[in-house]
Structure 1
Amino acid sequence: MTPTLRTERLLLEPYVPEDEEDFVALFQDTRVSQWMGDGPASEAADRALFGRIFTNVYARDLFDVWAVRRDGLLVGHAEIKPTDVVGGHEIIYALAPTAWGSGLGTELAEAIVAHGFDSLGLTTVHATVAAPNESSLMLLDRIGFEHVRDIEEDDGSTTRVLTRRRTATTDKSPSAR
């Protein structure tokens, strides 16, 4: 079961059905969705994705997926899940543009990584980032991720694979309750 995590300014908790409209609005914002998965999707596809979080991911306890809240408002989405692309666990995070530029992305990514190391017992955590997504690449570099390889996508674009290894000094800041 997806645990609740807290950081200084964020609450990461499992989605509830009432989050659907905010989830769809986040994923329909092309400033966000251009960097997620295969890019922007239809509203119907985003609603179906939200439904699958409950019927598939939570129901089968496949991996951890969070609604990211600040001051009670949904401001983002986060996941940590095993993927074949990286041969391990990958972190995924997105914040609404209103939350950009205030360090919340760093806080969010650090919380997911700490959960992977501390709660899941992982020794490495990965991220895949579209090469043009310089903000995310810089954020991940700042928190200790290293570029390990590139994936050439079918459409000719490049996805960067980054890895962070657990060290003896890995921060254990967010707490699960």
Structure 2
Amino acid sequence: MTPVLHTERLTFRPYRPEDEDAFVGLLRDEEVCRWMGQERVPEADIRTLFRAILDDVYPQRLFDVWGLWQEDTFVGHAEVKKTGNVDGHELIAALAPPYWGRGLGTEVVRGLLRHAADNLGLKEAYGMVGADNAASLAMCRRLGFRHVRDVTGDDGTVTRLLVIPTTEPPANGDGTGTAGAAR
């Protein structure tokens, strides 16, 4: 079961039915989609995805996925799941634009790394960051991520595949981004 996690300022909480509108709002935001390297999709598709998290992902324990909360305010989304790019797990995070540049990205990634090591027994984790996402790439460098290779999409966009050990404490960073997602 996806556990509730806490960092200094955030609570990582499994989604509840009443979180659907917040989830949809985040994944319909143009800036968030841009930095996540995805096209905006119809709202109905995002609602279907949300229901799949509640109806399939959680009951079947497919992977860990959370809504990110600062007190009672929804600020983003996070996941740890197997990646198809390598034999390993990827950290995925997306923050709502009003929360960029506050160090929350670093806090999210550190929380995900701690969970990956302590609860999942992972020795390393991966992130996928768009090559033009300077803020997230800088944060990943500060945390100690290492570039593995570039992945070029069918549309020509380049994404950096990064890796970090979970067993060493991440380097200090001021966090203007997230691994694998929106700044």
Q: Does 1:108 align with 2:144?
A: no
What aligned pairs does 1:3-82 form with structure 2 within 5 A after superposition? 3-36=3-36, 38-82=38-82
Residue 91 of structure 1 is matched in structure 2 by 91
Q: Is the 8 A contact 2:2 2:65 kept in 1?
A: yes
Aligned residues: 170
Q: Deviations over 1:61-90 (max 9, x none)?
A: 001000100021111000000112122000
The 1-side partners of 2:128 and 2:58 are apart by 23
The 2-side partners of 1:85 and 1:39 are apart by 20
Residue 163 of structure 1 is matched in structure 2 by 163
Residue 136 of structure 1 is matched in structure 2 by 136
* TM-score, scaled to structure 1: 0.92
SS at match of 1:126: strand
SS at match of 1:34: helix
Q: Deviations over 1:88-136 (max 9, x none)?
A: 0000000011111110111011100111012111011000111111111
**Unaligned segments of structure 1, at least 5 residues:** 172-177
The residue type equivalent to 1:28 in the other structure is R
Higher relative contact order (CA 8 A, sep 6+): 2
After the TM superposition, which segments of 4 or more aligned residues of structure 1 sit over 4 Å from their partners? none
Percent identity for Structure 1 against Structure 2? 48
The 1-side partners of 2:7 and 2:102 are apart by 14
Q: Is the 8 A contact 1:86 1:161 kept in 2?
A: no
**Unaligned segments of structure 2, at least 5 residues:** 171-183
Residue 118 of structure 2 is matched in structure 1 by 118
The 2-side partners of 1:18 and 1:129 are apart by 30
Measure how far apart 1:34 and its partner are: 1.5
Q: Is the 8 A contact 1:27 1:46 kept in 2?
A: yes
SS at match of 1:27: helix
Measure how far apart 1:37 and its partner are: 5.3
* TM-score, scaled to structure 2: 0.89
The residue type equivalent to 1:58 in the other structure is Y
RMSD: 1.2
The 2-side partners of 1:93 and 1:4 are apart by 16
The 2-side partners of 1:55 and 1:13 are apart by 16
The 1-side partners of 2:113 and 2:17 are apart by 26
